[in-house]
């Protein structure tokens, strides 16, 4: 990896950028836009109160037709203060450590280095979306991703690859859902029957939801439960946030439809269900793009393969739309969302080579 690439990764990592922190995201966005402009991109933003999505365009040079779309993100799971709180920037041989280096600031470094390299070479139009809320399911970016993908010849995801560097050719569907119960407060000892306990109702509903997925290959995680206030007051409100992962669209539709039709066990309780974010199941189908990528990689001495992944990303959206999509093109490393997060310096160099070859050779 060049010293310039390492310095860029250091700058980006030093600008901590947790999801939902618009001030921190805006500070990093300014740096990224300046670097993108330096690499030849025209830059624009889709503004949102929780963080702007960055849209970059590298005009075509001698190659007509649909653009290549690349998807990345600049938010991380790490709060401001993580660098000073036991997870500092560090370089130890080939290992580079720090919050967000692997997921996925090194991918942005490789992309910008590749774009700068091909500026004078023939290439199609290159479109890039750098999302601000990917780590919580891209609730404000989904429409933008869909719109940009509709006219793309290929979609390349700059999420981390499989261990060892292989690419990702499908993803589980991923949905965050909330079940909210409204009960009736009452004195828990003097007049309990006048109340309706929202927590008790929520527990019964969660048992029902567990039953919905019992015979299906669906991952269900009850992530948070909130409700009530005092032990001598019948709880008047409660809600739970669920994480659901799907392998196939049929189970996805069946479970999500059933969530919308939940009926209360207690006559005076009220239930609402809402999707906080939704990434549809991306099932592997068209292998042509992967084969083209493999041929381009072989031409520069790299060997690659691809297979589906369990995690979700914005490529769920493009893959589910039927657009030719491959993900995992960011540099290799490990420890995503863990304090052991690291990225390989040599992989940043090899992924830069690969991306430059793909942007001129797909």
- Do you know the residue count of the chain? 362
| Domain limits, the chain | 3-171+282-361, 173-279
Contact, 316 vs 64, CB < 8 A?
Answer: no
Contacts of 273 (CB under 8 A, 6+ apart): 177, 178, 179, 180, 259, 260, 262
Angstrom distance (rounded) from CA 345 to CA 100: 14
- Residue range 34-40: mean pLDDT, rounded: 97
Residue 285: the pLDDT is 77
* Tokens describing residue 196: 């309706």
pLDDT digits (tens, 9 = 90+) for 47-74: 999 999 999 999 999 999 999 999 999 9
Contact, 310 vs 172, CB < 8 A?
Answer: yes
- Residue range 316-334: mean pLDDT, rounded: 97
- Mean of the per-residue pLDDT values for the chain? 97
Residue 284: the pLDDT is 87
Contact, 62 vs 359, CB < 8 A?
Answer: no
- Residue range 276-294: mean pLDDT, rounded: 93
Residue 337: the pLDDT is 95
What is the 3-state secondary structure of the chain?
CCHHHHHHHHHHHHCCCECCCHHHHHHHHHHHHHHHHHCCCEEEEECCCCCCEEEEEECCEECCCCCEEEEEECCECCCCCCCCCCCCCEEECCEEECCCHHHHHHHHHHHHHHHHHCCCCCECCEEEEEECCHHHCCCCCHHHHHHHHCCCCEEEECCCCCCCCCEEEEECEEEEEEEEEECECCECCCCHHHCECHHHHHHHHHHHHHHHHCCCCCEEEEEEEEECCCCCECCCEEEEEEEEEECCHHHHHHHHHHHHCCCCCCCCCEEEEEEEEEECCECCCCCHHHHHHHHHHHHCCCCCCEEEECCCCCHHHHHHCCCCEEECCCCCEECCCCCCCEEEHHHHHHHHHHHHHHHHHC
Q: Is the pLDDT of residue 148 over 90?
A: yes
Angstrom distance (rounded) from CA 9 to CA 5: 6
pLDDT category of residue 338 using cuts at 50, 70 and 90: very high
Helices 3-14 and 345-361: crossing angle in degrees, nearest 10, is: 100
Q: Is the pLDDT of residue 2 over 90?
A: no
pLDDT digits (tens, 9 = 90+) for 262-274: 999 999 999 999 9
pLDDT category of residue 214 using cuts at 50, 70 and 90: very high
Q: How many other β-carbons are positioned within 10 Å of the β-carbon of residue 356?
A: 21
* Tokens describing residue 207: 């048992």
Contact, 290 vs 297, CB < 8 A?
Answer: no
Architecture of domain 173-279: 2-Layer Sandwich (3.30)
Residue 156: the pLDDT is 98
Q: Which CATH number fits domain 3-171+282-361: 3.20.20.80, 3.40.630.10, 1.10.10.10, 3.40.640.10?
A: 3.40.630.10
Q: Is the pLDDT of residue 15 over 90?
A: yes
Q: Is the pLDDT of residue 286 over 90?
A: no
């Amino acid at each position: 990896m060049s010293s310039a690439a390492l310095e860029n990764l250091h700058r980006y990592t030093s600008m901590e950028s947790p999801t939902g922190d618009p001030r921190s995201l805006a500070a990093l966005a300014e740096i990224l836009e300046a670097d993108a402009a330096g690499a030849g991109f025209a830059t624009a933003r889709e503004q949102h109160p929780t963080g702007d999505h960055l849209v970059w365009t590298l005009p075509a040079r001698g190659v007509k037709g649909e653009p290549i779309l690349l998807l990345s993100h600049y938010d991380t799971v790490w709060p401001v203060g993580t660098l000073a709180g036991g997870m500092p920037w560090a370089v130890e041989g080939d290992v580079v450590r720090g919050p967000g280096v692997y997921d996925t600031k090194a991918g942005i470094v490789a992309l910008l280095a590749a774009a700068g390299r091909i500026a004078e070479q023939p290439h199609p139009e290159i479109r890039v979306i750098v999302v601000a809320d990917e780590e919580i399911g891209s609730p404000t970016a989904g429409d933008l991703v869909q719109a940009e993908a509709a006219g793309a010849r290929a979609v390349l995801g700059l999420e981390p690859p499989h261990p060892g560097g292989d690419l990702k050719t499908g993803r589980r569907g991923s949905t965050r859902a909330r079940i909210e119960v409204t009960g009736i407060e009452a004195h828990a000892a003097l007049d309990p029957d006048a109340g309706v306990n929202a927590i008790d109702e929520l527990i019964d509903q969660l048992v029902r939801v567990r039953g919905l997925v019992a015979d299906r290959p669906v991952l269900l995680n009850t992530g948070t439960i909130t409700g009530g206030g005092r032990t001598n007051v019948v709880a008047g409100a409660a809600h739970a946030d669920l994480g659901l992962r799907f392998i196939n669209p049929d189970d996805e539709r069946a479970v999500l439809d059933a969530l919308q039709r939940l009926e209360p066990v207690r006559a005076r309780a009220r239930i609402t269900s809402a999707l906080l974010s939704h990434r549809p199941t991306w099932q592997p189908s068209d292998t042509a793009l992967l084969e083209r990528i493999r041929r381009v990689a072989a031409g520069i001495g790299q060997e690659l393969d691809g297979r589906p992944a369990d995690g979700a990303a914005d490529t769920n959206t493009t893959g589910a739309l039927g657009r030719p999509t491959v993900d995992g093109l960011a540099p290799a490393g490990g420890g995503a969302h863990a304090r052991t997060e690291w990225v390989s310096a040599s992989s940043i160099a090899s992924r830069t080579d690969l991306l430059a070859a793909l942007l001129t050779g797909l």
